[in-house]
Amino acid sequence: MTRLVAVLSAFLLLTGCAGPDLAKRNFPRGTIPAEAGNTTATTGASATAQAPVGQPVDPAFATDRLRLVDPCALLTRDLLKQLGRPGTESRSGFSRCSNFMKDGSGKDLGVTVELGQTMTVELKDADKRLAGLRSHEQVLENSACFVSVITQDEPGLGITVQIGYEDGDACGFGRKVMESVVEQVKARKGAITPPKGSLIALDPCALPDEGAVQAAVGRGGHRVFPYGLHNCSWTAPDREVTLDLRRTFLPTDRKFDDAQTEVDLGDGVRGYQVAATTAFPSCEVLWVQRPAEDREGEVVKVKAAGPEESEFDRCAAAVAFAKALLGKIPKP
CATH architecture of 2-10+54-186: Sandwich (2.60)
The band of 300, judged by pLDDT with boundaries at 50, 70 and 90, is very high
Per-residue model confidence as pLDDT tens digits over 241-270: 999 999 998 988 888 888 899 999 998 999
The band of 7, judged by pLDDT with boundaries at 50, 70 and 90, is very low
The band of 31, judged by pLDDT with boundaries at 50, 70 and 90, is very low
Give residue limits of the domains in the chain.
2-10+54-186, 195-326
pLDDT of 143 reads 82
pLDDT of 244 reads 98
Task: Fold for 195-326, please state it.
Answer: Protein Transport Mog1p; Chain A (3.40.1000)
Highest average pLDDT, of 26-30, 171-175, 294-298, comes from 171-175
Per-residue model confidence as pLDDT tens digits over 212-242: 999 999 888 899 999 999 999 999 999 999 9
**pLDDT surpassing 80 at residue 309:** yes
Percent of the chain scored above 90 by pLDDT? 69
Q: Global pTM? A: 0.83
**pLDDT surpassing 90 at residue 51:** no
Per-residue model confidence as pLDDT tens digits over 174-187: 999 999 999 999 99
Per-residue model confidence as pLDDT tens digits over 33-48: 333 345 555 444 323 3
3-state per-residue secondary structure call for the chain:
CHHHHHHHHHHHHHCCCCCCCHHHCEECCEECCHHHCCCEEECCCCCCCCCCCCCCCCHHHCHHHHCCECHHHHCCHHHHHCCEEEEEEEEECCCEEEEEEEECCCCEEEEEEEEEEECCHHHHHCCEEECCEEEEEEEECCCEEEEEEEEECCCCEEEEEEEECCCCCHHHHHHHHHHHHHHHHHCCCCECCCCCCCCCCCCHHHCCCHHHHHHHHCCCCEEEEEECCCEEEEEECCEEEEEEEEEEECCCCCCCCCCCEEEEEECCEEEEEEEECCCCCEEEEEEEEEECCCCEEEEEEEEEECCCCCCCCHHHHHHHHHHHHHCCCCCC
pLDDT of 41 reads 52
Structure-model confidence comparison of residues 67 and 30, the more confident one = 67
